Every structure is written in C-alpha cells, then in structure tokens.
Structure 1
Amino acid sequence: MSKEVRALEPKELWNNFANLNAVPRGSKKEEKVIQFMADFGKKLNLKTTIDPVGNVIIKKPATKGMESRKTVVLQSHLDMVHQKNSNTNFDFDTEGIKMIIDGDWVKADGTTLGADNGLGVAAIMAILESTTIQHPALEALFTIDEETGMTGAMGLQAGYLEGEILLNLDTEEDDEIDIGCAGGIDVTAQNPYNAVNSPSNSVGISISVTGLTGGHSGMDIHKGLGNANKIMNRLLFGSQEYIRVSEIDGGSLRNAIPRESFALVSVKELYKDQFLKVITKIAKEIKAEQKIVDPNLEITFIETAVPKKVMTSISQNTLIKTLYALHNGVYRMSPDMKDLVETSNNIARVIVKEELIKILCLTRSSVESSKFDLANMLKSTFELSGFKVTLAGSYPGWKPNVDSPILKVLTDTYQKLFNENANVVACHAGLECGILGTNYPEMDMISFGPTIQGAHSPDERASIKSSQKFWKFLLNILENIQFKK
C-alpha cells in the first residue's frame, strides 16, 4: 500500500513519511523511532544528538549565501496516537501503518495514520537530506511523548539549541498560522468498591456503544461529538432500577474523544422486558440527538452469561451519579479570541473491574487559572463521592504574540504565494511551544501544517493537495527568513 503513497508529490515528503510509518512509534514506546531518526542524521553526516530524555537533535549548516542569517529550529514530535477500530486486527508494537489513498486523502486501514505529527517529521527529514533546498542554518528538533504528557518538550534542557526562531509543524489546517495554544492537566480518580454475587434468577446483558466519530479531545471538543463514556452512563442511569453493573470498559487515551464503551450488567429475569423497553427508548433518543455529528452510532444490548460478581447498589449509585455530574466538553470560550475554546474537559477513560473504579480526564485551557478552576471542580465532584484524586502532568499554554517578527514573515509569504490572507489563530490543543519557551524564552515561535482531519481516531486522514501547499509554503518561508545573526 505504501508504494502508491510513495508515488505522490512531493515525493521527498511522502517517501520519508512512508519510511517513518514503517517504524512503530507509540507514545512512551519510541525506542525504535529514536534510533531510526538518529541513524538518519548520522547517515547524512550531520551532527546528531540524543538528549537525556530521548529527543533527537540534528543540525545542518546553512546553504551557500545564507550563512549570516539566524539559525532556524524545525520542530515536530516523533510519537503518534495508537487507535484502531475494534474489528481491526493490528499490532502497533510490531507493525508499520498500512496506508491507502482515497481521492485527495491518505488514510490508514482501520487505524490512526500518524500524519499527526508524522507529516511534519517527514518534511523536516526531506529538508535535512536535500542538496538543493535553500535555507539558513537548521536545528531539527524531534521530540518524544508529545501525545501523552509532552515529557520530551518538558525534558529538553537549555543549551541544546542555538536557534532564535522555531517553526513548529504540528497544526492541522493549511490556511491557519498558529500563535498560541492550550495547556493541560491530567485528572485521575480512583475508588474501590465492594462486589457481591449476582442476584439469583438473573440474565447477563452486554451493552455496547460503538461507531462514534471520536477525534482530538482539544481540536474537536467544540463540535458536539458524542462521548462514549457519557452515553454509556446515560444508558445506565436511565435503567439503573433494573440493573447491577459488573464491568465497564470505555474510551482509550486521554487526548482522544471516546468512540466506544462496553458494559456488562446483570438483570433479573423478571425485569428483563421492562429493562429492554426503557434502555431501547433512551438509545433511540441519544441516536436522534447525535444523528448529524455521529451518524454511525450503534447501541446494542445482547444477552450473555450472567456475571459472577456485580457492584453493590450503593457503589453503583455513587458511580453513575458521579459520572453524570462530571463536566465534559467546553467549559468556557475565550473572551479574547473569537471562536476559540478557552477551557474544556474530556472524560477519556472509565474502567470498572475487579473492585476498582478508575476514571481518567484531560482538562485543557489557554489560561492557567481557568485550567485549575475546572480541574478543582472535577476534583471536588469526585471527592464528594469518596474518590481519591490526583492532578498530574500539568503543562503550560503558549501565550499569543501578535507582534512576533516571524509571524509577519509567514503572513507576508502566505499572501504572496496564495493571494489571500492566512487565518492567524490560537488553538485548543497542546502544542509544545509553550513548554519549549520555558527554557528558551527569547525564541520566536510559530506553528503551521497541512490539513489533517480526524486526528487521534481511525478516521485520521491527510489531504494530498494540502500537503503540497504546506511543502511549498515551508520552503518559501525558509528562503524568506532574512533576519541577521
């Protein structure tokens, strides 16, 4: 499948993307891709460094005539989100991504594609190996673990980079130039519960919520997409007088809007018909509400073996009401930038199994005080129900600078190339710029990239035309950065 992708233009971009996608590179499992990138730099006889946390830095001298210009840092992250459809047989730890072309889109066969941020990585690789592209001195910074904690950016120490300008290639709309982003914090709640035997004369019912659109828990949080954990809880809430919950397994990663949730419940034979009538009605209502944004939503109830153990009625009531009370989605829109989500929360993962409840959230905000306001609201809700809560992995946002010198270079270049003005925006996602700025506070930063849709889901796809536009834009930017050292 990669053969057809390699034939796409620009070949230097897509060939490097195909090479990269052959290497397993899940977050916190980047050993192979770190070695792959270090070997790539060394084969080019470029100065290549792996820092203590695993970031790879490759330095390339300026092309002839551009030696006096300021050094530019090109930055993208090596890791990708691992998501697959439940019916897809694929091992992310050992297999390369299977790519397909569908019209103007490059997609993967039932998994995430890795265009986030693989196309940025591939573009940098193409520039590093080129003998014809004009550019100032370059420092290519390939960070690790952007998707599950940004520990690569957090661990990058001062002194590794000399560049004064940073181009982050990790946004997903080709007509946007990004000058700010949200920070985030992980909210994790746990609560033990007592399990008892299933009531006598019961049947087991397997409840499934599948087929939701899903997506990026920051960039897509405002779209009204269904959250499988909230939908499952609504089904359980509406039918709770008839059921006893045995297990719940919903969602996957903190930074992905949950697409699927599965629950196993016990229902007394006497109440089975009433239960099915009630839950069918609720499912119908939910599907009607979501039919525009989640047209493929499926909610099923299948009779199965009776579970041996179920939650006590008190534990079940506490769980269901706590999940109902938790805020999910947009919390506050920015008063400073039109249509920008300022603060949000994603109820990403719900696990009920073996007498332990575990709920994982990701709270985002471009305003630190608002981020902690929402995180503390969630914490308070959990603690009122007896949960133990930890707040961890906090990282800062990136404050917009409308007077940035590199911003003017990009807006002027975009207008000249495409005869229209770019949209200057801030995004509700966790770019690494804010974190990198803590150790490199004088660095002028900007972010842009090709159009990618459905990031963090198996529907992820990258536009071929947009990738060509992005490549042209990037090369012209490098030519037009004329700031002197």
Structure 2
Amino acid sequence: MNTAVRNQEPKEVWNHFADLNAVPRPSKKEERVIAFMVAFGKKLNLKTIVDSVGNVIITKPATKGFEDRKTVVMQSHLDMVHQKNTETVFDFDSQGIEMLVEGDWITANGTTLGADNGLGVAAIMAVLSSKSIEHPHLEALFTIDEETGMTGAMGLKGGLLEGTILLNLDTEEDDEIGMGCAGGVDITARRTYTEEEIPSNSSGYSITVKGLNGGHSGMEIHKGLGNANKIMNRVLFDGFTNYGLRISEINGGSLRNAIPRESTAIVSVENASKEAFLFETKALINNIKEEFSTIEPNLSIEINSISLPKKVMDIAVQESFIKSIYAGFNGVYRMSPDIKDLVETSNNIARVIVKEGAIKVGCLTRSSSETNRTDLANSLRSSFELAGFEVAFSGEYPGWQPNVDSEILKIVAALYENLHGEKARVAACHAGLECGILGQNYPSMDMVSFGPTILGAHSPDERASISSTQKFWKFLKEILKNIPKK
C-alpha cells in the first residue's frame, strides 16, 4: 500500500515520510519516534542529542563553500493528531499509517495522514541525508507534543541552539509564507452531579451526530463547519425544554485542536411524551441538516430506541449544563482589524463528556491578541461558572508577533517570486505554530514558516498534494542556497 507513495517525486522526501509513518507517534507518546530519529541521526554519523523534554536535535556541518553563512535551524514537530472514521478499525498506538495515492494526493485509509507535520520532518531528514544539497551549518530541531500542548517547544532551553535563522516547515498552503501565528489557552470546565433513578414509565434513546467534516480548529474555524457538540446540545436543549428529556451520558468530540466530528448521547423520555418528542426532534434534525446542507452534506443525526439507562443527571444540573453549552461561544469571535481575512480570536468547544456523576467540557481558545484571548476566555469562564462549573486555564502559549522587517522573510519572499513569477501570500495564520514559543528563549532568532499544501489536517480527510510537495522541496533547497553570510 505504501510502495506507491515511495515511488512519488521527490522520492527522497516521500521515502522518509513513509519510514516516519511506519512509526506510531501520538502526542505525549513519542518514545518510539524519538528513538527512530536518534537512530536516523547516528546512522548518518551526525551529532544527535535528546534534550531534557524529548526534543531531538541533529547537527550537520555546512557544505563546502557555505561555511561563512549564518547557521540555520530547520524545525518541525514529530507528533501527529490521531483521528479516524467511526467504522475504521485502527490502533494508532501499534500500527503505522496506511497510505494511498489518489491522483495528485496522498491520503490515508480512514485515518489522519500525519502530513501535519510529518512532511516537514521528512523534508528535513532528506536534507540531512543528502550528499548533494548545498546548505549552511544546520541544526535540525524535531520537537515533541506540538499538537496537545507544545510542551516540547516550551521545554527547549536557551543556549542549546546556535542558529540565528529558523525555518519552520509547518505551514499548509504552498503559496503562503508565515510571519506570525496565534497563541492559545486550554479551558476546562468540570462539575459533578447527582445521578437519579429514571421513572419506569420512560423509554431510552441514543442520539448520534456524525458525518461532519471536522478539521483544524484554527486554520478551518472560519469556514463555519458544523461542531458536533453544539449540534448535539441543540437537540438536547429542544428535547429537554419541550418534552422533559433526561441525559444519562454524552461523549462528544476528541482532541481540543480538532473541530468535533461526532457526538453520542444516551437519554430518556417519559412514554407520555415520546411520540411528540420523536416527531418534533425529527423535524428539528431536518432543519439543522438543511442549514448545513451546503457545507456539511454528509451530516447525519440519528435517534434510535435502546434499553432504558439506569441513571440520569439530576434535573437542576442538567438545565444549567445545557444552557452553559448553548451560551458558550464557538467559532470566530473577532477578525483581525490589521490583516485582511485573518481570524484574530476564536474558540472551539472541543470535548464534552457526561458520565457517572461527572461533567467535563474542554475548549481551545486562540488569538493573535493577548488581550482579546483573555477577553474570550473570561467570557467562557463566566458562562460555565454561572452554571456551577469549576474552570481552569492551562497549556497557555504565546503567539508569534509579525516582523515585517525580517531579513529571512524578505529573502524567502523574493526567492518565491523569482521561482514562480508571482508573489507569495505573506501572512500570519490562526494556528499555534511553535515559533512564538521558541522566540521566548531565542529572542534574536529570525523566523519564517512555509510548507506544502495539506488539506483536512486533524481529520481523516487529511491529504497532501504530490505536486505541491515537489514545489515545496525545490523552494526549500533554493532557500538553503541563499542564506546570507554571517
């Protein structure tokens, strides 16, 4: 299955990508991929170290004639988002990604592909293993845990790197050069509830929301894609308000940085109201599907009869919980007033779990403005605290402030125009690149971000363009040849 991928051009990149994708590498479980990268560096007889948090740094001397150029740090992250379709049988902890070639695209068999950021890693590996590519002194930085907290970048100590230029290979549109990014904060709301017995004259139902596109909760938040947690809450709110629906369990969403694709709930309704409940809810479902028909054509909302659950949430907590999710902001909060078409501030209600007397709601709030991120975070905190939740902020990371006078930005932008006869889009992005964090301990580092076109990141629809990867590879090699002198 992966042989066809290895035969694509540039083979040096796709072969390293296939090797990497054979190694399970979920966030916070990077031991195997760390060992893989260490073995790779040592096999090339290059200086290879693992820092105190697990980042891998491989150093390669400059090629002949490039010894007087500035040292370059090439950086990508080792971990990948793990998402799969409901019907896909796959164990991310033990299996390598099964890849497919579909026209100009590399995709995976019902799972995320790991091109985010595996193609960046593979490109760096290709440079390190090459005997012909011209380049200055290189420090290859492979960070861990980018997708679930950026703890690798946060834990990288000052003084480990000598480079003054950083090439971050984690942008997902090949005509874009990144010069800034959003910061973020995780918001977790928790509370407990008393479980109550269900009246015997009730019926049990499962409600399932599925078939949504999902995707990157930063880069795709502006598209208005369906959020399974918000859609499920809408159905539950209507059933509770009009027909006394009671909640037993909810399991919605998965990762904080992925727009939720699926949610399931187990509920009960008294028999006297069940016919009206089913009729009304099916009408509501049709309305919701009609609203999303253009952008979410595969949206499915199903109600099925099941055995009556044993317990439900006490009614007072249930009411405040449902209303807090309804009030909780989701989507684009503010567009940038300074950069056209850039989302400044957003929130993703990523995870909702209700089970056995405990509720947990997880959000990721992003912004390129520290003050507006705090404003939205406090708005969410207020919504949940008014409903009796305890709210915690964690995993906060800074944004990367744009520097329009960056020397490497000007060089890279000019090279792009020379190669392609048109200007690149120089922009900040609404995603959490590690550049902002790395800049804290390396404040003099001149940084830029770029990469091949990857669509559907953080979802099983993730796919990477073959032709775009060829374009990216040529661009990267040209940049390395044009690094300025010290």
| Alignment partners' CA distance in 1, 2:117 and 2:315 | 46
Distance (Å, rounded) in 2 between the aligned partners of 1:293 and 1:159: 48
Q: What letter matches 2:485 in structure 1?
A: K
Question: Which residue matches 2:272?
Answer: 270
- What one-letter code is carried by the residue in structure 2 that aligns with 1:192? T
Distance 1:193 1:152 in 2: 36
Q: Following the alignment from structure 1 to structure 2, what is the Cα–Cα distance between the partners of residues 265 and 279? A: 13
Q: For the residues of structure 1 that align with 2:383 and 2:264, how far apart are their CA atoms?
A: 24
C-alpha displacement of 1:380: 1.0
Counterpart CA distance in 1 for 2:342 and 2:35 is 38
Partner of residue 407 from structure 2, selected from 405, 408, 411: 405
In structure 2, the partner of 1:383 is 385
Gaps of 5+ in 2: none
Please report how far the alpha carbon of residue 414 of structure 1 lies from its aligned counterpart in structure 2 after TM superposition: 0.5
What letter matches 2:93 in structure 1?
D
SS at match of 1:216: coil
Letter matched to residue 420 of structure 1: E
How far, CA to CA, are the matches of 2:364 and 2:179 in structure 1?
Answer: 22
Does residue 107 in structure 1 map to residue 111 in structure 2?
no
**C-alpha displacement of 1:92:** 0.3
State the match for 2:30 in structure 1.
Answer: 30
1:162-173 aligned at under 5 Å gives the runs 162-173=162-173
What does the per-residue CA deviation read over 1:148-175, in whole Å, with 9 as the maximum and x for residues that have no partner? Answer: 0000000000111000000000010000
SS at match of 2:212: coil
Instruction: State the partner residue of 2:183.
Output: 183
- Is it true that 1:374 corresponds to 2:376 in the alignment? yes
Gaps in structure 1 of 5+ consecutive residues = none
Structure-2 separation of matches of 1:262 and 1:101:
33
User: Per-residue deviation at 1:345?
Assistant: 0.4
The correspondence of residues 235-314 of structure 1 with structure 2, limited to 5 A, is 235-240=235-240, 241-242=242-243, 243-314=245-316
Which whole-Å deviations, capped at 9, do the CAs of 1:128-148 have from their partners, x for residues lacking one? Answer: 000000000100000000000
Residue by residue, what CA displacement relative to the aligned partner does 1:429-455 show, whole Å, maximum 9, x if unpaired? 000000000000000000000000000
| Partner SS state of residue 206, structure 1 | strand
Map of 1:161 onto structure 2: 161
Distance 2:383 2:318 in 1: 16
Aligned amino acid, residue 206 of structure 1: S
SS at match of 1:389: strand
Q: Post-superposition shift, 1:281?
A: 1.1
> SS of the counterpart of 2:86?
coil
1:196-211 to 2 correspondence within 5 Å? 196-211=196-211
The Cα shift of 1:400 comes to 0.4
Taking every aligned residue pair, what percent have the same amino acid on both sides? 68
Task: Give the drift of 1:264.
Answer: 0.4
Q: Which residue in the other structure is 2:467 paired with?
A: 465
**Residues in 2 aligned to 1:269 and 1:433: alpha-carbon distance in whole angstroms:** 57
Letter in 2 for 1:112: T
One-letter identity of the residue aligned with 1:439: N
Partner of 1:68: 68
Q: Are residues 1:484 and 2:485 paired?
A: yes
Root mean square deviation, CA, Å? 0.6
Report the Cα distance in structure 2 between the residues aligned to 1:62 and 1:192, rounded to whole angstroms.
Answer: 59
Q: CA deviation at 1:272?
A: 1.3
CA distance in 1, matches of 2:401, 2:127: 29
Q: Which residue in 2 is equivalent to 1:85?
A: 85
2: CA distance, partners of 1:19 / 1:218:
28
Q: Given the two structures, how large is their TM-score scaled by the length of structure 2?
A: 0.99
Q: Look up the match of 2:133.
A: 133
Residue 371 of structure 1: how far off its partner (Å): 0.8
Q: Deviations over 1:350-400 (max 9, x none)?
A: 000010110000000001111111111111111111100000111000000
- 2:118 paired with 1:121: no
TM-score normalized by structure 1? 0.99
The aligned residue for residue 59 of structure 2 is 59
